[in-house]
Structure 1
Amino acid sequence: MTEQAPEPAEPIRRRPGGRAARVRQAVLTAAMEVLAEEGVARLTVAAVAARAGVNETTVYRRWGSREKLVLDAMLAGSSEGIPVPDTGAIRTDLAAFARALAEYLATPAGRSVARAAAFSSDDPDLAASWQTFWQSRLAQAGVLVDRAVDRGELPAGTDPALTLELLCAPIQTRALLGHRPVEPDLPERLADLVLDGLRGGRAEGWRS
C-alpha cells in the first residue's frame, strides 16, 4: 500500500500590522482616554501603560518621554476627530472642517486639549510639543487652502495657517469660555466671512 504524501501545512496567518502596531494603538487609545479624563497636566506614563496593559518601559522605549507621548496622542485624537475634508470647493471644505472642530471640542478629549493649549506651560519640553502639535495640524489642514488656490478659488499667496486661525478661533473661544453656543449654521457663516475677506484682495496684507 502506497503511503500518501502529507498535506502541506497551511501558512501562518498574521494579523496586519503585527504586535508593534497593536501595542502602539493600545497605548495611544489609553493616552487619549487618560487625556480626556485627567487632562494634559495629570497624564502620566504609568497611568497610560497600566490602562494599555503594557510595561512602562515599553512606552518609554517607543516614545522616549511623556511629552512625546502626549504629542502623539493629541495628534492622533485630533486627526481622527477633525479629518481634513475634500468636498471639491473651498467653502464647503472650510465649513466641514469648522463643524468637525466644533464637534471635537464638545468631547472630553477635545475640551482637555483646548484648555491645555489655552494656558502657557513653564515646561520647555511640553511647550515645544505644543508648537509641534500646532504646526503639524496646520500643515495637514493647510492643504484645503492650497487646493483652493490651485483651483483659482483663492488668490495666490493666501496664507493657509492664518486662514485656518481666522476660521477656528471663534469656535475655540466659544468652546473654552462657554459664553455662547455654537449654532448649527455657524460653520457656514464663518466660512463665508473668511472667504469674503480673502477674496477682497487682502490675503497678502494678512500674511503672517
Structure 2
Amino acid sequence: MTRPAVDGEVRSTRGRPRDPGLEGRVFDAAIALYAEVGWAGFSFDALAKRSGVGKDALYRRWGASRAGLLRQTLEARWYGLEQIDTGSIREDLLALARMWLRLRTGPYGKVGLHMMIDTLRFPEVADVLAGYREDAVRQARSIVRRAIDRGEIPPSTNPGLVLDIVVGGVTNHVATTPQRLRPAMTAKMDEFAVSLVDVLLSGVKQAGQ
C-alpha cells in the first residue's frame, strides 16, 4: 500500500535527475565539433567524446536527431539577432557588424562555411537550417524596419540590401585578407565596422533625399 505524503515531504521519483548543465556542455562541444568537421563528422560518438556526456544521455535528450541538435546549437552558440535593439540604427548595425566580425574571425569561424556547403550536400541539414536562417533574416530585417518607423532612415530603404552590405562586407573583408595580414585586420576590426556602417548610412540617407 502506498503511504501518503506528509506536509513538506517531497516524494522521490524514479530515474536519474536531469543534469542542469548538460545542455551547455553539449552545445559548447557541438559548436566546436561542427566548426572543425562539418556535418560529415557531426556524430553522437564524436560529440560524446568531446563533451564528456554519455551517448545514452544524448539520445535521451535529442533522440536520433543530429539535425535538431545542430539547430539548437546554432541558436545557442552561433548568433542571436533578437538581442540587437539599441534604439539607434547606427548602433544596431554596428552591433551586427561587430558580432559578425567576431564570429568570422573567432575559433568557430568555419561554422558559416560548413553551413553553406552542408546545406547544398545534405537535405536533412537544408531542411533544419531553413527555418533557422529564415528566423535570422526576419530578425535582422526588423533592425532596419524599426529604424524606418523611428524616422531615422527613409521609408524607401530596402532592409535586405542594407543587411547584405553589412554581412557581405564583413564576410568579404575577412575572406580576402591574406593570412599574414590577419593580425592587423583583427586589431582594426572595430575601425572597419565603424567605417562600413557610416559609409552605408550616408548612402542610405542620400538616396532618400
Number of aligned residues: 188
Query: What is residue 84 of structure 2 aligned with on the other side?
Result: 85
Query: What is residue 143 of structure 1 aligned with on the other side?
Result: 142
Q: Distance in 1 between matches of 2:39 and 2:84?
A: 28
Residue 23 of structure 1 and its aligned partner are, at CA, apart by 2.5
Residue 187 of structure 1 and its aligned partner are, at CA, apart by 0.9
2:112 is aligned with what amino acid?
Answer: A
Query: What is residue 196 of structure 1 aligned with on the other side?
Result: 202
Give the percent of matched residue pairs that are identical in Structure 1 and Structure 2: 29
1:188 is aligned with what amino acid?
Answer: V
**Residues 12-48 of structure 1, C-alpha deviations (whole Å, 9 max, x = no match):** xxxxxx8365322222122123224434432212221
**Residues 138-193 of structure 1, C-alpha deviations (whole Å, 9 max, x = no match):** 23333321321221112335443432221111211232343473644211121123
Residue 197 of structure 1 and its aligned partner are, at CA, apart by 3.4
CA separation of 1:62 and 1:165: change in aligned 2, threshold 3 A? farther
Query: What is residue 166 of structure 1 aligned with on the other side?
Result: 165
Q: Which runs of 5+ in 2 are unaligned?
A: 1-6, 11-16
Which of residues 166, 170, 185 in structure 1 aligns to 2:191?
A: 185
**Residues 70-105 of structure 1, C-alpha deviations (whole Å, 9 max, x = no match):** 22212221236x774333311122112201211221
Q: Distance in 2 between matches of 1:135 and 1:118?
A: 14
2:52 is aligned with what amino acid?
Answer: G
Q: Distance in 2 between matches of 1:9 and 1:43?
A: 46
Query: What is residue 133 of structure 1 aligned with on the other side?
Result: 132
Maintained 8 Å contact 2:82/2:139: no
Secondary structure of 1:88's counterpart equals coil
2:91 is aligned with what amino acid?
Answer: T
**Under a length normalisation based on structure 2, what TM-score does the superposition of the two structures give?**
0.72
Maintained 8 Å contact 1:84/1:141: no
Show the 5 A alignment for 1:11-30: 19=18, 21-30=20-29
Q: Identify, as 1 or 2, the structure richer in helix.
A: 2
Which of residues 114, 117, 135 in structure 1 aligns to 2:115?
A: 117
CA separation of 1:90 and 1:49: change in aligned 2, threshold 3 A? same
Maintained 8 Å contact 2:35/2:114: no
Q: Distance in 2 between matches of 1:151 and 1:141?
A: 16
Q: Which runs of 5+ in 1 are unaligned?
A: 1-7, 12-17, 203-208
